[in-house]
Amino acid sequence: MSVPGQTMGMAVFTDPFIEAFDLSRTQLSFAYLAGTIGSAVLLTRAGRWYDRMGARVMIVASSVVLGVFVLLISSIDVIGRWIAAATGLNFASVTFGLILLGYFGVRFSGQGILTSASRNVLLVWFEKRRGLVSGVRGVFVSLGFSLAPLLLALMIDDFGWRGALWVLAAAVGVGFAVLALLLTRDTPESCGLQPDGGLASEAHDIALDDPNIRAAQARRSPVFWIYAAGLSMHALFGTAVTFHIVAIFAEAGRGRDEAFGYFFPQALVSLSVNLLASWFADRTPLKPFLVLMLIAFITGAAGLLSLDTNVGYWLLVVGFGTGGGLWGVLSNLAFIRYFGRLHLGEISGMNTSLTVFASAIGPAFFSIGTDLFGTYRAAEWVCIGGLFALLIGALWIRQEEPLASTH
């Protein structure tokens, strides 16, 4: 349900937005950058709200807010013409400000709060099988995210870009908000239960099981930063590729249908890897998964550089699919395993803030690279360099997991 706030959800609307709002691709990328950075600044605070108010309130509220901002985006050209006529301002200047506001809203409520809250609430209900449960969740997330571009493209063809946004707004802002209100509960303890089932009377003490490290301590940990940086690099690189997917494939001589069709085989690889890795993660340390994730993204990046060939295409599919599957495992398990669940909202909020910030930079970075060099390859090479640097760091930094009992 966070798809309207995710890159793959907004990327499908890029070309219709450019035409309807009278903006260039670079202008739209910068609006996305500014809106996403603005949302990233507030996400650590949103993590504190989660720790204080609980998942149920945060999920319902963020769903409603996401729906409202999707409705705003669907009306930007209409509102822009009215403001331009009333004030004499340039239409493109008005729509730039409005889409910036819209991007801020959907990124903050969708990619930020709704994604983090729905992930965290699931993790606190399980301990011994967190990895497996996260993998099952990952099946639905990966399928939804990967099929979303295809489904949204069909919706745009059938209903137009505005009608497609109206459907999304109703689905998340009304339908999902009601479901979350009825079905979500913050913790097992609030229902007289304990994680993994059983009654609270069976004496389950969170303080004995979790390290419960505070956010200030996590910020001083190299382990936090290597995982946050690795996850953020994928957010930067993957978001940029997704946002410019049609143009990148066109540069390689491939069409729009191939560009959107890429997401399906990539999703199958991601799903398979996510399920297998999640099962193993309940029994093994997380460091090997981090190393393999970075190697997989480097492999996918090599495929991106040779996308005009069949080998390059499948390297991209397998590399980014494998990396995406492992990314799902690490983003779910790393912070609760290393730092506990008492301050999970704030700590995961810090990570989400960084990944959202990175995802904001990605599309604009690729746009600037294309404007300067006439190709996306320069930006791709920079990302490859960053991945190699992170791989060295992942191998070098010592990673001791406090929750050894989960293995």
d(CA 83, CA 151): 33
Helix/strand/coil for 217 = helix
pLDDT at 83: 96
Question: For the domain with range 3-188+209-399, which CATH number is right: 3.30.420.10, 2.60.40.10, 3.40.50.300, 1.20.1250.20?
Answer: 1.20.1250.20
**98 band by pLDDT with thresholds 50, 70 and 90:** very high
The residue to which tokens 């990046």 are assigned? 301
Instruction: Give the whole-number percent of the chain exceeding pLDDT 90.
Output: 43
- Locate the domains of the chain by residue range: 3-188+209-399
Which of 194-208, 263-277, 353-367 bottoms out in mean pLDDT, i.e. has the lowest?
A: 194-208
CB neighbour list of residue 225: distance below 8 Å, 6 or more residues apart: none
Q: Give exposure, 243-271, as e/b (b: 16+ Cβ within 10 Å).
A: bbbbbbbebbebeeebbbebbebbbebbb
d(CA 44, CA 41): 7
pTM of the model: 0.74
Q: Is 300 exposed, middle or buried (0-12, 13-18, 19+ CB in 10 A)?
A: buried
* pLDDT tens-digit readout, 127-186: 777 777 877 887 777 777 777 888 898 999 999 999 999 999 999 999 999 999 998 888
Q: What is the DSSP string of 136-162?
A: HHHHHHHHHHHHHHHHHHHHHHHHHHH
Half-sphere exposure of 319 (CA within 13 A, CB side): 24
d(CA 399, CA 303): 31
d(CA 317, CA 309): 13
pLDDT at 211: 59
